[in-house]
Structure 1
């Protein structure tokens, strides 16, 4: 496992840190696989009730490592493939944005600095985004002769509406943290010196809730993207039935009646 992707779990929160600050955390081929592996590991770990994705140094992620990508075979996106199975390749379905989209564990992108290209798609793919006031979101794909290949064309219109997404993407705008907040692309903007503590508080609040219920809520919100109202209500009911038999449900009711904070065990 590369040391360019750091991983730790503490107090119910798994933190994944892109750790290549000398190149603004641009993502190398080895990092692609490592990010996917760490995301999957966290999602399977009962001790990880929330996942934080952030970057070391002054940037969140400035995209793919273009120097490495320029040496790759044309059209292969470095080590991404559509499924040829060639050694060293990562199939699209195993790419970090796809893995990220299918996680049941809540995710928070902590934008300590700029997010551009692939890094922006990773940030948009998280459930929540908390940004330092100095952070910027760069959507300049069109200025580089490419398009958002990792979920941006699906995510951005759903977040801000088609017309705003079209203007942002077609103009290749770089958004300040304040502009991103106004558009609803980030949930919170705080001074850079307060970012880590602020994000920790949000992650801790999520981790303190009943994990089985939180995961079910996320699954149903994701399913709602492609279901009718009636389908989703029925789907939710099927998710509710097993939750009613859990220890966590009984603990939640008891804590409410006893006017105390609940202590959930994920059972």
Structure 2
């Protein structure tokens, strides 16, 4: 593990922080592996019901470390020194973000660019500080979105707007990102983490098995037809009907009290 990525669990919320403020939280190969490891760890922890990703300093994540890439250590180079053997793209953080069932929130404390933008798009919910910017500057660097951006962006904002962003390599303000639906809220910088944590805690008060099942269903719904999806929904309901949380949800409703879900 590396101190370039910080991890803590508060209540039912895991917080992952990019911790290279002097380099605008650009990602090194070691950070890539650490991020995937921490995401999987949080997703496997029954006490964790939401994950918040944020950054230290003035940037959220300005992308891959260009110096590491130039020296052959970044994506497209030799990744065998990443601290755990050969790196497989199927284990890359954007892929892991797409696979895990725990809800993820990107608390954008500053700029998200390149690979950083892909990571932000991979989170379920994005909240931006007023000064944050989202930069799709891939083509201006002779590249395409590094990991998933061309799959995610059209699904989030539609083909036409996604094409405009990627083809022009445009940088968006937080307000412009909100108008496009790239982020769900824009708040003063001082309120960013409290807003993100409040939202995470609100998610965490609901039945975790149901929340995770809902995320899985939404993910599958992106690639299957309606009838197949309705069948999948029915199958997802069966174990939930048998859960203690379902009984607690009914009891708390009838007794007019807040539920106390255990994830069982």
Question: Are the equivalent residues in 2 in contact too, given 1:51–1:107 (CA < 8 A)?
Answer: yes
Whole-angstrom distance in 2 between the partners of 1:43 and 1:111: 21
Once the two structures are superposed, residues 191-246 of structure 1 have per-residue CA deviations (whole angstroms, 9 ceiling, x without a partner) of 10111111111000001110000000000000001110000110010010110011
Task: Decide whether aligned partners of structure 1 residues 56 and 74 sit closer, same or farther in structure 2, where only a CA change above 3 A counts.
Answer: closer
1:207 to 204, 207, 219: 204
Once the two structures are superposed, residues 159-200 of structure 1 have per-residue CA deviations (whole angstroms, 9 ceiling, x without a partner) of 111111000000000000000000000010001011111111
Task: Decide whether aligned partners of structure 1 residues 77 and 252 sit closer, same or farther in structure 2, where only a CA change above 3 A counts.
Answer: farther
Question: Are the equivalent residues in 2 in contact too, given 1:111–1:135 (CA < 8 A)?
Answer: yes
- Deviation (angstroms), 1:89: 3.3
User: Which secondary structure does the structure 2 equivalent of 1:169 belong to?
Assistant: helix
Matched, 1:163 2:160: yes
| Aligned match of 2:27 | 27
1:260 to 257, 260, 264: 257
- Deviation (angstroms), 1:149: 1.7
Whole-angstrom distance in 2 between the partners of 1:79 and 1:101: 22
Question: Are the equivalent residues in 2 in contact too, given 1:29–1:78 (CA < 8 A)?
Answer: no
- Deviation (angstroms), 1:79: 2.3
Gaps of 5+ in 2: none
| Aligned match of 1:64 | 64
Question: Are the equivalent residues in 2 in contact too, given 1:13–1:51 (CA < 8 A)?
Answer: yes
Deviation >3 Å, runs of 4+: none
2:234 to 237, 242, 261: 237
| Aligned match of 1:99 | 96
- Deviation (angstroms), 1:77: 4.5
Task: Decide whether aligned partners of structure 1 residues 228 and 29 sit closer, same or farther in structure 2, where only a CA change above 3 A counts.
Answer: same
Give TM-score, length-normalised by structure 1: 0.96
Task: Decide whether aligned partners of structure 1 residues 217 and 73 sit closer, same or farther in structure 2, where only a CA change above 3 A counts.
Answer: closer
Question: Are the equivalent residues in 2 in contact too, given 1:69–1:78 (CA < 8 A)?
Answer: no
Give TM-score, length-normalised by structure 2: 0.97
Question: Are the equivalent residues in 2 in contact too, given 1:12–1:207 (CA < 8 A)?
Answer: yes
Count of residues in Structure 1 that have an aligned counterpart in Structure 2: 264
Question: Are the equivalent residues in 2 in contact too, given 1:160–1:185 (CA < 8 A)?
Answer: yes
Query: Considering only aligned residues, what root-mean-square deviation do their CA atoms show, in Å?
Result: 1.8
| Aligned match of 1:50 | 50
Matched, 1:16 2:16: yes
Matched, 1:179 2:176: yes
| Aligned match of 2:147 | 150
Question: Are the equivalent residues in 1 in contact too, given 2:13–2:50 (CA < 8 A)?
Answer: yes
Task: Decide whether aligned partners of structure 1 residues 188 and 73 sit closer, same or farther in structure 2, where only a CA change above 3 A counts.
Answer: closer
Matched, 1:193 2:151: no
Question: Are the equivalent residues in 2 in contact too, given 1:3–1:19 (CA < 8 A)?
Answer: yes
Task: Decide whether aligned partners of structure 1 residues 74 and 17 sit closer, same or farther in structure 2, where only a CA change above 3 A counts.
Answer: closer
